[in-house]
Structure 1
């Protein structure tokens, strides 16, 4: 296993299989953000939304999105993949991590499922009081870690 794959494996293990994240979308120079319930499967991010919401239109017209939580920023490409109710693995993970949302929304006719393929992830870490940035470039399979000198 190369260094990129090894570091990605560590990163995704730390993230777990479900968490709340902020999703940012943009369309026509307007950026919007909202908290979403996100499931992580095979190094991809999955969330569901209603096709009547503004974010749905934004996602369809501009699939370039950002997700963030804690000290992690994710840039990726989103794609609609159907109804949440048709995706057994997603449903299982969603129910486990977000039971109320699963019960209230996953089987609605207007719900749609999106997958996000990560393009770039950046994470701030601290070791012995020193700040570092970890960068994961998925298109080139490159991992970089550098110390940040803050003044």
Structure 2
């Protein structure tokens, strides 16, 4: 039994197939964030964007990104994967989770698919009003769950 794998797989299962998340990107020491429709495929996070958007240029300059939703922070490395319609699995899940966005944008010529490989995940969990920090160090396959002491 591997504690890291068990806990991380439970986290991914609980995450679900698709969520609206904040994506943060940066270029030349300037960070920007925006809401994105994101889906989960085999432990990696996928989204699409237009090549004329600021975030596209930031991603080409710096592949290090962060995703955030509720009490979950994810740091990872982002890679362009081509046109969204060239990835059948992405299309199936994205259309199911975000049909309006799929119909409006996925077939546009300038649209590109990106994949975020997570390297680090941090989640705050409250149990009986007591804060705990759960950390998944994916690169080193290490898991921790510690009470926040706030010293």
TM over 0.5: yes
TM-score range, shorter chain: over 0.9
Tell me, in whole angstroms, the C-alpha distance in 1 between the residues paired with 2:13 and 2:26: 29
TM-score, structure 2 as length reference: 0.98
CA RMSD of aligned residues (A): 0.9
Q: Please identify runs of 4+ aligned residues in structure 1 that moved more than 4 A.
A: none
The Cα offsets for residues 94-139 of structure 1, whole Å up to 9 and x where unpaired, read as 0000000000000111000000000100000011221100000011
Deviation at 1:22, TM superposition (A): 0.1
2:70 aligned with 1:70, yes or no?
Answer: yes
List per-residue Cα deviations over 1:50-69 (Å, max 9, x = no partner): 00001000001100000000
Aligned-partner Cα distance in 2 for 1:128–1:9:
24
Q: Does 1:52 align with 2:81?
A: no
TM-score normalised by the chain length of structure 1:
0.98
Superposition pairs of residues 74-85 of structure 1, within 5 angstroms: 74-85=74-85
Aligned-pair CA distance for 1:150: 4.0
